[in-house]
């Protein structure tokens, strides 16, 4: 899968995403990441990409021309238009389902805004999806773009190893992860729950599900309500969970 990130700060994107699991996936050729500097496409002789807003008001706006030309440089004329995400607090809130859906695309363009935003006309022309990462305002779209690339790339086949993907796919829907422990068995006087040392796999699974349910109820009542509603619909089926 190929990501094209249109940004004024390409080094932010490539720097942060070349480490760890995503970096490894790029080395293996499972994902490609191209950060395109919108400034390289301005026709302004001073390399300016922003301008004042019509109608007045504070702040500057990214002009349509450099954004459109950067977009044209990454899309193939003979292929259908790729899905193009504009990262904006005015978008729909990003979630795991959206990550999964975007991961089915062969190519994805992610547009990062700066200043007070981007001229509406170029957005109308190229954007297919308006996506936010939550209800707070950041100084630019780069961090949200990185968040999305990371979350989407995890769903590309081969990016995660077996252990990592088993952790996400094989448990029970809508529940948070249970608490986990590693050696030593006693740390600062605190003991690992005895059941985890018992070797009784059935008991361990029951304990983990119980802990997941308790944790979800306490920390994410919104998710817990979903879980309960789903359980009520499928009373006979063994509960399944997925990790967040
Ligand atoms: Cl996608 N962009 C900006 N600038 N701020 C945000 C955001 C996006 N999502 C949450 N806050």
Residue 75 sits in a domain whose CATH number is 3.40.1280.10
Tokens of 218: 């306490």
Residue 158 is assigned to a structural domain of this protein: no
d(CA 242, CA 244): 7
- Domain of 219: which CATH number? 1.10.1270.20
Mark whether 80 and 147 lie in a shared domain: yes
Q: Which atom of ligand 1 lies closest to the CA of 134? A: 10
Of the candidates 38, 1, 10, 19, the residue with the CA atom closest to the CA atom of residue 145: 10
Of the candidates 65, 42, 62, 66, the residue with the CA atom closest to the CA atom of residue 116: 62
d(CA 226, CA 176): 12
pLDDT at 212: 96
132 pocket-lining for ligand 1 (C-beta < 6 Å): yes
Mark whether 110 and 206 lie in a shared domain: no
Whether residue 184 is preceded by a cis peptide bond, meaning omega within 30 degrees of 0, is yes
Residue 178 is assigned to a structural domain of this protein: yes
pLDDT at 234: 80
Mark whether 195 and 97 lie in a shared domain: no
Tokens of 64: 């349509």
Mark whether 117 and 204 lie in a shared domain: no
Residue 240 is assigned to a structural domain of this protein: no
Q: How many domains does the chain have?
A: 2
Residue 49 is assigned to a structural domain of this protein: yes
Q: Would you call 85 helix, strand, or coil by DSSP?
A: strand
Please tell me the distance between residue 66's alpha carbon and the centre of ligand 1 in angstroms.
Answer: 21
Residue 111 is assigned to a structural domain of this protein: yes
Q: What is the DSSP string of 86-155?
A: EEEEEEEEP-HHHHHHHTT-SEEEEEE--TT-B-HHHHHHH-SEEEESSSS--SSSHHHHHHHHHHHHTT
Residue 221 is assigned to a structural domain of this protein: yes
pLDDT at 162: 75
pLDDT at 88: 97
Please tell me the distance between residue 184's alpha carbon and the centre of ligand 1 in angstroms.
Answer: 41
pLDDT at 168: 60
- What domain range is 69 assigned to? 2-153
Please tell me the pTM assigned to this model.
0.90
Residue 162 is assigned to a structural domain of this protein: no
Backbone φ, ψ for residue 35 (5° rounding): -100, 120
Please tell me the distance between residue 140's alpha carbon and the centre of ligand 1 in angstroms.
Answer: 7
Spell out the per-residue pLDDT of the chain, length 244, in tens: 999 999 999 999 999 999 899 999 999 999 999 999 999 999 999 999 999 999 999 899 999 999 999 999 999 999 999 999 999 999 999 999 999 999 999 999 999 998 789 999 999 999 999 999 999 999 999 999 999 999 999 999 999 987 767 566 544 568 999 999 999 999 999 999 999 999 999 999 999 999 999 999 999 999 999 999 999 998 665 666 766 6
Mark whether 215 and 104 lie in a shared domain: no
Q: Which atom of ligand 1 lies closest to the CA of 113? A: 4
Mark whether 39 and 143 lie in a shared domain: yes
């Amino acid at each position: 899968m190929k990501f094209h990130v249109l940004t004024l700060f390409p080094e932010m994107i490539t720097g942060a995403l070349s480490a760890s699991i995503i970096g490894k996936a790029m080395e293996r050729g499972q994902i490609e990441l191209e950060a395109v500097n919108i400034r390289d496409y301005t026709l302004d002789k001073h390399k300016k990409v922003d301008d004042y807003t019509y109608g007045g008001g504070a702040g500057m706006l990214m002009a349509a021309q450099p954004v459109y030309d950067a977009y044209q440089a990454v899309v193939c004329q003979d292929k259908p238009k790729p899905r193009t995400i504009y990262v904006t607090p005015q978008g729909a809130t990003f979630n795991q389902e959206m990550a999964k859906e975007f991961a089915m695309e062969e190519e994805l363009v992610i547009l990062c805004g700066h200043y007070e935003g981007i001229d509406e006309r170029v957005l109308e022309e190229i954007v297919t999806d308006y996506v936010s990462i939550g209800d707070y305002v950041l100084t630019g779209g780069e961090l949200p773009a990185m968040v999305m690339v990371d979350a989407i790339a995890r769903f590309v086949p081969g990016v995660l190893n077996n252990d990592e993907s088993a952790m996400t796919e094989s448990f029970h829907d809508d529940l948070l992860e249970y608490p986990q422990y590693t050696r030593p068995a006693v740390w600062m006087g605190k003991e690992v729950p005895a059941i985890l040392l018992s070797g009784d796999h059935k008991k361990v699974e029951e304990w983990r599900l119980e802990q997941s349910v308790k944790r979800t109820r306490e920390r994410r009542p919104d998710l817990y309500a979903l879980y309960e509603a789903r359980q009520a619909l499928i009373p006979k089926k063994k509960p399944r969970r997925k990790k967040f």
